[in-house]
Every structure is written in C-alpha cells, then in structure tokens.
Amino acid sequence: MPVDNPNISQELPVIRQLDDAAINRIAAGEVVERPASAVKELVENAIDAGSRRIEIAYGDGGKTLIRITDDGCGITEEQLPLALSRHATSKIDGSDLLDIHTFGFRGEALPSLGAVGRLSITSRVGKASAAQISVEGGAMSAVKPAALSGGTIVELRDLFYATPARLKFMRSDRAEAQAITDVVKRLAMAEPFVGFTLRDVTGGGEGRVTFRVEAENGDLFDALHGRLARILGKEFAENALKIDAEREGLRLIGYAALPTYSRGSSVAQYLFVNGRPVKDKLLVGALRGAYFDYLSRDRHPAAALFIDCDPHLVDVNVHPAKSEVRFRDPGLARGLIVSSLRHALAEAGHRASTTVAGATLDSFRPEPMGALGARPQGPSGQARVYQMDRPSLGARTAAYQAQAPMPSSPGFDELTEAYSARVEPFESEMAQEQPAEGLPLGAARAQVHENYIVAQTETGMVIVDQHAAHERLVYEKLKHQMAENGVAAQALLIPEIVELSEGDCARIMTVADALSKLGLTIEAFGGGAVAVRETPALLGEVNARAMVLDILDELDDAGESMLVQAKLEAILSRVACHGSIRSGRRMRGEEMNALLREMEATPHSGQCNHGRPTYVELKLADIERLFGRT
C-alpha cells in the first residue's frame, strides 16, 4: 500500500515575488555578517569618495552605534534617495562587470544596512546646502536640510534590530571591537595616503581613540613602509624586505619579513589585490610556498603584499563579502609571489632579524628577586640599572692596559687551563689577528664550549652556532646539486596501481609533470586508477598509495602539494646534519674564519634548516649597556 511522503506537500508550491524589505534583509545577511562588516562597507565607500581623512566611531562593539565621518566628495540632495535604492551605484555603469577600479560596485551595502538597522546619511557637496536622509527597518524618510561643513556622515544605530535572531550570533563587545579594529587596520594598510581615526564612544561623549594613523608622505614605498611600521610595529619594518616585481601585467609590491622574524600563526599575513584586502587560499598558499624551505611547519611568515593588475585579469565578484578573488591565470599570480619572495630572501644573504639580538639581550637581564632575596628595585618594579659616567676613549684604553695582567704574573698561565671558554691559538701564518673591518660577520677571536664561535665586528661582536651554520651551508650545496642534476628516480619492478575516484584522478594528473621532476612518475591507468611507475630514489622504499592520497589531501587543502619536495628536502637536511661540523669539535682560527666567509657568501645562512638563527649579533653599545657603561 503506497504511503504519502510527509515531506512533500499535496498542494503545488506557489512562486511569490518578495517585497523590497525582505530582499534587503536577505542581502544584508550575505553582505553584513557582523558590525565589522558594516564598518568595512562604509569605510570603503568613504575611500571611493576620495576622502583624505576618515573617522570611525563605534559604541558597544558596533552593536548600538557605527558612525563614519569623511571629507570626500559628498552626495547631492537629489541623489540621496537613490543612494538608498537597491543596486544603485556611481562606481560602474553596468556595461563591463570586470572593469572595476573601486572597492564598492554592487550598490547593496546602504539599502541592506537600512533594512536591518537605523541608518542616516548627512552629506554636503561643495558650496551646496547639506541634506540628510534616514531609513529605519527599510522605511525611508524624506530628505531634509542639515548642518555640515563638507563631506559625508553615515550613522548606523541598533544594527540587526529588525532581525533579532541575528543578534544572538553576535560575540562579546570586546570581540566585535577587535574585529572592527582589524578591518580598519587592513584598509589603512591599503591606503597609506589616507588618515584614519578609530574611536570607541561607548557610554557617550567623545570616547577614546583606540587607533590613529596620519596620512603618509613621500613615494609609494616610503609611505607604505611608514604605514606598516605604525600598524605592524617597528620590529616588522626593521626586518622586512622590500618586494617589487612585475610579470605579464601583474605587479607585486610590499614587504616580507625575514624567516627569523616568524610568527606562531598566520595573523601577520596581509594580502591585497588592487588595493582590496583579501583572504584568498591561492595567495596564502603561495606565501607559504615561498618560505617553505626556511621555516618549520609550526612557524608562519609575516608579510604585507599588494598585487596590482588590470581589473580584467581578476574577478572580485566571486564572494558576497568580496574577500576572495579569482585570477584569470592563477599560476601566474602564484609564481610571481613565490619567485619574488625567494629572490628577495636570497638577496638578504646571511642577514638575520634584529629581534634575535633583542631576545639575547633580554635573556641577559636579571629577573627581579622576591622579598627574601631582594634585589634593588626601580619605581616600575624592574631591577634597578645603575648608571655611571662614560669615560673618554683615551681614559678607557689606559684603564684597560692598567688592568691587564703582566705576562710574568705568577699563576696566570695556570688559570688559562681552567677557562671554560677556550681560545684556540692560531697557526704561525695566522699569528696576526685577522682585521674585522669590512667583514659583515667579523673575524674569529675564540671558540666557546667547542660549539660557538665568537667573532669581532667593526661595531660589536657575533656569536655563531658552528653546527647549525655549517648544516645550512651543506644543505644549500646539496639543494644546488639536486637542482642541477635532477632527482634520481627508481623504477618499480611492478607498478603500483592506486584506485581513486575520477575526480581525484583528474586532479592528481594535473600535477603529474611537476611530480615527475621530483622523481615520482604517475600515469593514468583507466577509469579512476593511476599507476605509480617511479619513486624518488632518495626516499628508499615508499608506500606509493599513501603518498598519492597525502598529495591529494594537500591539493584539496591548499590547491597545491609540496609533499614530495618536503620529503626530499627533509632527507637532504638529514644528510647535511650528519655531514656538518659537529658540536664539540675544536676548530682552528683559519677554519672559523673560513666558515664565517662562506656564511657571508651563501644565501639563507642566517637561519638553520628549521628556521632558527645561526648567529647572534650584539652591538658594542648593547654590550656596554649590559654592564651599565652608558
């Protein structure tokens, strides 16, 4: 006996035309996810209007108030009602949906915000009279006169009051305020010639300024460097490499940090396409690939990169929030990022980040003692630093000579045997110490604990981890040899057949040529199967099926796979580790100096194979400060 399906209505469904209020509320759900989304849309409108100064005020994390004040071109009184209409915009004429040179272009933000909150717009154009219009829950008021010196003020109150269910998805005021700050900082990076002020006016009044940057001056790179220093910090600016490259209509500019200035997460990665902040999987994967050989998997690079191109080469209309883009040639964009960053890192040579020295000096500073072992404390609770007058150079030289032991001092020769820091005597032809002038890593002066080389530079000293440094040098040689001679492959006596779905088979065959260069040969075997015929000889016995499935997982996750390359380079790193100078080996003076010179000539020698620094540089002024000689 047939039973009616309870999920199927017996009445035919009726197609209805939704009213404008419902359409706007639906659009708001796509475009405005949280208060930060509303701030993003409104600030982008202010930037598109040519503003030079923009002030953002918010109350209660943006839930009760968002106010954007700008000095842009403004909106005429006659155009105000049209600005609140759906799909009404001054950014495009609709003839070419790819020819987009502005942040906004859909004409959805203002009517969507007016449908879910209480929105008012006050604007003035030139010497014309100012006017104001408001909309509440989709109901628009008449235009009325207002007082305003110029520009536009957009005020949004009680966001999502018309859709109470959406309010349940809001996070705490603090979390929403942090999201607003993040959005404003990203837009401030994209527009270094525009001044931004962010103000928290919770509770009324003028509130407090939580973020402010003034408009930068100079050329693009100077302005960008200054803006990044103010937003990401002075340390990022000091350890960032300038990026400027162009290929087939795509230009990449920005700054990328040294590998030794890495982070524990990807929070310091900022990517922009035609000035628009994006969070795109392709670009994030390219950034990771550029640093692939210089950082361990638990460390992430820091960078602010800007891709500029003809708008027809990229589609920005693939995501409601416009946070993702699609390039006409994704491989070109990825290749540009990887090659440009690797070139910049190679040009940096042996350079390591300044934060390494800072961390070293911090570890030297004594911790404040408790009540039982009271150390003299300053007003801030830190250990007190005693200052003294700095003597002249002549006085210091005379004092050092007076304090030096006489060659015939009784017992001095016996004391040298008990030194934990051993100074290896130079050979006869090296009797004269090598001068440190003009040598970035200086001249070797001692070997400490048979593992650390102490070198003197013109401005201070360098401490080198001999094992980590030589390991990196050997590793770079092995990689160079592999790149020149190729990866040796071993043919399987019986090819291993791996059954896959047709989609997975097609996906892995798109990277078959790249895998073949790494010694992994894969051929289609009919249906969804692939045949693994060769594997890299360096890997020895390989579980081909597991490797193929792991490669597919990486392709799904990041759009690319570096698994085989990672395994090969891990073996090269292991070989380099076993073939490098071991800790505990005594080195002669000429050997130490030869190692320093090779580090200066080898790219990436500033960090070991795992991203840790191979040397620490301390300036003489920092050393003197440790001893209170400043």
pLDDT in tens, 88-118: 776 665 666 666 767 766 667 788 888 888 9
**Alpha-carbon gap, residue 473 to 115, rounded angstroms:** 63
10 Å Cβ neighbour count for 596?
25
pLDDT of the residue at 70: 94
pLDDT, mean of residues 581-606: 84
pLDDT of the residue at 6: 60
375-430 pLDDT per residue, tens: 444 444 444 433 334 455 555 555 545 544 444 444 434 434 444 444 545 444 44
**Alpha-carbon gap, residue 456 to 621, rounded angstroms:** 14
pLDDT of the residue at 412: 38
**Alpha-carbon gap, residue 291 to 405, rounded angstroms:** 51
Give, in order, the Cα–Cα distances in Å from 42 to each of 57, 70, 132, 141, 436.
12, 10, 16, 20, 57
* Structure letter (DSSP) for residue 562: -
The phi and psi torsions of 412 (rounded to 5 degrees) equal -70, -40
pLDDT of the residue at 560: 62
What is residue 474's three-state secondary structure?
A: helix
Helices (H), 348-465: 354-364, 393-403, 412-416
pLDDT of the residue at 52: 94
Burial of 566 (0-12, 13-18, 19+ CB in 10 A): middle
Residue 510 pLDDT exceeds 50 = yes
263-314 pLDDT per residue, tens: 888 888 999 998 888 888 888 888 988 888 777 777 888 999 999 998 888 8
* Structure letter (DSSP) for residue 163: S
Alpha carbons within 13 A on the beta-carbon side of 420: 1
pLDDT of the residue at 578: 66
pLDDT of the residue at 367: 53
**Alpha-carbon gap, residue 602 to 611, rounded angstroms:** 15
Please say whether the beta carbons of 205 and 239 come within 8 A. Answer: no
**Alpha-carbon gap, residue 63 to 170, rounded angstroms:** 9
Residues 6+ apart with CB under 8 A from 244: 221, 252, 253
User: What residue ranges define each of the domains in the chain, with the CATH number in brackets?
Assistant: 20-213 (3.30.565.10), 220-347 (3.30.230.10), 390-397+412-625 (3.30.1370.100)
pTM over 0.75: no
Residue 117 region, left (φ>0) first, then alpha (ψ -120 to 50), else beta? beta
Across all residues in the chain, what is the average pLDDT? 79
Give residue for tokens 């000689």. Answer: 629
Residue 191 pLDDT exceeds 90 = yes
Residue 4 pLDDT exceeds 80 = no
The tokens for 241 are: 């490499």
pLDDT of the residue at 449: 86
Which range among 271-285, 456-470, 599-613 shows the weakest confidence by mean pLDDT?
Answer: 599-613
pLDDT of the residue at 513: 84
Q: Please, what's the b/e burial string for 148-184 (b: 16 or more CB within 10 A of its CB; e: otherwise)?
A: beebbbbbbbbbbbbeeebeeebeebeebbebbbebb
Please say whether the beta carbons of 38 and 113 come within 8 A. Answer: yes
pLDDT of the residue at 388: 38
24 or 418, which is more confident: 24
pLDDT, mean of residues 158-177: 83
pLDDT confidence band for 372 (50 / 70 / 90): very low
pLDDT, mean of residues 172-195: 94
Residue 371 pLDDT exceeds 60 = no
